[in-house]
Amino acid sequence: MPQDKFYITTPIYYVNDVPHIGHAYTTIAADVVARYKRLEGYEVFFLTGTDEHGQKVQQAANDLNLSPQEHTNKLHQRFKELWVRLNISNSDFIRTTEERHKKLVRNILQELHSKGEIYQDSYEGWYCTPCERFWTEKDLAQGNCPECQRKVEKIKEHNYFFRMGKYQEWLIDRIKNDPHFILPASRRNEVLGFLDKPLEDLCISRPRSRLPWGIPLPFDEEYVTYVWFDALINYISIHGSLEEIKASGFWPADHNMVGKDILTTHAVYWSTMLKAIGLEPPKNIFAHGWWTVNGQKMSKSLQNVVEPNQLIEQFGVDAIRYFLLREVPFGLDGDFSHKALIGRLNSDLANNLGNLLNRTVNMMKKYCGGTIPTPATAGPEDEPLTTKAEEVIAEVRKLYGELAYNKILQKIWELVDTTNQYIDKTGPWNLAKTDEGKERLKTVMYNSAESLRVLGVLLNPFMPTSTESLMKQLGAETSIEDQGMISINEWGGLKPGSQTQKAKQLFPRIEDKQAKKILDELSEPKEDNKDSQITIDEFMKVELKTGKILEAEKVKKSKKLIQLKVDIGTETRQILAGIAGSYEPEDLVGRTVIIVANLKPAKLMGIESQGMVLAAGNDGKILLAGFDQEPGQGIQVR
Ligand code: MSP
């Protein structure tokens, strides 16, 4: 029997952006569905790629003295490499500068032009270079681009237009008649609101003299295609010519997954373009929300861009995949914080799931010699577990239809909790004490392991690596991919007699000390961060002076502190310094140091410190700040 086909896409990312968690979010979300559908037995096509034409790319390449093509050849690798690291299972990777893509774009343009769907007209408007979009006077926000608030320039030129406006009624009907077409519902209403106003035709060209880096129009080589008209076609150019697309069985796509900022371009431009070409719009366009970081928009100037590569090193791939989809309902905005990530990793992954696997595999070794036992028929105590599993599996299948990732994970965790409770209630450690108990123990151990196998299959799309490791520990002979969702339709897929492996921690806990270190490093002020800069006046408030150490002795019961008497010209100060690990008191006497003279006195180990000595270093070696010549005492340091 031929397999049912399933097609899912991510937006194609601007090639000169540095990949961040926002990009990773869409791609991971699409990957989870692609993996799930494969487990359900579908032939899945999962597409991602890079958007490589346009003014910004051209400018960046010019700045580097590279051709735009050379530049994008390098840059797109950053996305490809990140997707490999994040275990993204895309079927192909489309670049808009590839021949296969350019060919279809030009063919479509030619066809639409021949059919009269594209015409030439003069055009005057306000152009925003960073957004590569024209705006009308009334669109502007205080004279600036309404989207990025930057300056716009007035441009008058001849251009080509796609007759988008004529599809307005058709599009409104399409959206109203199919509640699944644009999701979530709130975004669907926004699109309908946008369509309340007359829909204008779409300017789909740019003069080549102004913007050479684009796909030339086949019917007028003096112009290149507008980036969005070019980029949107990526979703079909991957499948070949229009005939091949129709024959591929992969169009219409099941999901075009996008961020909320690019919903209009998809719901309106893309759907009407497809209509004009004679293809169906995608079955669903889903607009997810945006991530902020500690309440702020991610931006290079704020230096708060969260880099997935760094997160992978700190927390592991699966923890990140889990966190991004568990923390916030898909469709709503969310705020990223390392603290929340550590919290979820420790509680959900290490404590709940990780521990469940660990205790089960360890008990299997202890009570069953590491062999999956044959269970007896289910009794009343087993039923809540098997019933819960059935309920969770059915609900998860349903929730995938809504892309409700956080609910899917919540639901799966109900089974994690029920299994932990099942073990606590049945108490294998007590059963092991009597002969009768030992018989029952086999069923309890089997059920616990089987529940974990079900969890492994359900969680595999989210955490592909950890769940395969889980499966191996349980002694399963085939991979989750081979087992598929079908293997959990009925309880009992785990084969009695298989050998479990040594228990291995799936998710190491981030201990408090390590967590503190990670969080402290993150909150360190960054060099260019405007908020952490001080004025010269503020700096001048700190009174720095030279002083000569007259006396030095170790503070009793302290490993670090040395008590100093320092002559600062006008007076002698008693100062405590945490330098005992690096200096002996006798080496210090006679040295000239720099002290903060107007620091509020503070007591350390019951001794008053009337200032602070400047030194460089951290917990390891500490070096006192000093001078290459003797400056004398009480001299101001600036
Ligand atoms: N190249 C266009 C898309 C063309 S699709 C035919 C583009 N690229 S982008 O790189 O700017 O954005 C790609 C995706 O990343 C968008 O879906 C966008 O919503 C998403 N995100 C970018 N920053 C984001 C967050 N901070 N949070 C979540 N997603 C965000 O637009």
Checking if the pLDDT of 530 tops 70, the result is: no
Sign of the four-CA dihedral 336, 341, 342, 343:
positive
Do the Cβ atoms of 232 and 269 come closer than 8 Å? Answer: yes
Nearest-CA residue for ligand 1 atom 15 is: 23
Paired strand residues for 151? 144
Exposure class string for 88-97: b at 16+ Cβ within 10 A, else e: bbbeebbbbb
In this predicted model, which residue has the larger pLDDT, 635 or 51? 51
Task: Give pLDDT, residue 620.
Answer: 61
Interval 602-615 mean pLDDT: 87
In this predicted model, what pLDDT tens digit does every residue of 222-233 receive, in sequence order?
999 999 999 999
Ligand 1 atom 12 nearest Cα: 13
For 269-333, strand residue ranges (E) read: 285-288, 291-293, 296-297
Helix (H) or strand (E) holding 536: helix 536-540
Chain Cα centroid distance, residue 617: 35
Is the pLDDT confidence value at 615 over 60? yes
User: With 80 as the cut, is the pLDDT of residue 617 above it?
Assistant: no
pLDDT in tens, 262-320: 999 999 999 999 999 999 999 999 999 999 998 888 877 777 888 899 999 999 999 99
Amino acid 117: pLDDT: 98
**Residue 528 banded pLDDT, cuts 50, 70, 90:** very low
**529, amino acid identity:** N
Residues with CB under 6 A from ligand 1: 11-14, 17, 22-23, 25-26, 51, 231-232, 234, 258-259, 261-262, 290-291, 298
pLDDT at 526: 41
Q: Quick: pLDDT tens for 491-507.
A: 999 999 999 999 999 99
What's the gap in Å between 13 CA and the centre of ligand 1? 6
Report which residue type is found at 612: M
- pLDDT confidence bin for 529, thresholds 50/70/90: very low
Rg (CA), the chain: 32
Render pLDDT for 337-352 as a digit per residue (tens, 0 to 9).
999 999 999 999 999 9
Q: What is the pLDDT of residue 536?
A: 75
Quote the CA–CA distance of 412 and 406 in Å, as a whole number: 10
Nearest atom, ligand 1, residue 232 CA: 6
Q: What is the mean pLDDT of the chain?
A: 92
> Would you place residue 524 in the very low, low, confident or very high pLDDT band (cuts 50, 70, 90)?
very low
CB burial of residue 465 (10 Å; 0-12, 13-18, 19+): middle
Give the mutation target among 13, 257, 265, 332 for probing the ligand 1 site: most ligand atoms within 8 A of CB. 13
How far, in Å, from the CA of 11 to the mean position of ligand 1? 7
Q: Which residue, among 37, 36, 67, has the nearest Cα to 52 in the 3D structure?
A: 67
Residue 618 pLDDT more than 60?
A: no
Give 71-86 pLDDT, tens digit per residue.
999 999 999 999 999 9
Distance 50 CA to ligand 1 centre (A): 11
What are φ and ψ of residue 23, in 5° steps? -65, -40
Q: How would you classify the pairing of strands 255-259 and 612-613? A: unpaired
Report the separation in Å between the CA atom of 567 and the middle of ligand 1, taken as the mean of its atom positions: 61
Tell me the pTM. Answer: 0.81
Q: What is the pLDDT of residue 363?
A: 97
434 exposed, middle or buried (CB, 10 Å; 0-12, 13-18, 19+)?
exposed
pLDDT-derived band at 533, boundaries 50, 70, 90 = low
Report yes or no: 118 and 138 within 8 Å, Cβ to Cβ.
no
Which one has a higher pLDDT value, 493 or 632?
493
Crossing angle of helices 464-473 and 355-368, rounded to 10°:
10
Which residues contact residue 513 at a Cβ distance below 8 angstroms, ignoring those fewer than 6 apart? Answer: none
Average pLDDT over residues 96-119: 98
pLDDT in tens, 416-429: 999 999 999 999 99
Distance between CA 128 and CA 632 in Å, rounded? Answer: 61
User: Separation of 380 CA from ligand 1 center, angstroms?
Assistant: 51
pLDDT score, position 532:
53
47 CA to centre of ligand 1 in angstroms:
15
Question: Is residue 255 within a helix (H) or strand (E), and if so which, with residue range?
Answer: strand 255-259
Predicted pLDDT at 402: 94
Going by alpha carbons, the residue nearest to atom 24 of ligand 1 is 22
C-alpha 194 to ligand 1 mean position (Å)? 20
Between CA 9 and CA 218 the distance in angstroms is 27
Among 17, 21, 26, 82, say which to mutate for ligand 1: greatest number of ligand atoms within 8 Å of CB: 26
Predicted confidence (pLDDT) at residue 522 exceeds the cutoff of 50: yes
Mean pLDDT across 8-33: 96
Cα–Cα–Cα angle for 574, 575, 580, rounded to 5 degrees:
130
Distance CA 246, CA 250 (A): 8
Phi, psi of 625 (to 5 degrees): -70, 140
Are 515 and 390 in contact by the 8 Å Cβ rule? The answer is no
What average pLDDT does the segment 599-617 reach?
86
Pocket probe mutation, ligand 1, options 83, 262, 273, 332, max atoms within 8 Å of Cβ: 262
pLDDT of residue 302: 72
Q: pLDDT tens digit string along 357-390? A: 999 999 999 999 999 999 988 889 999 999 999 9
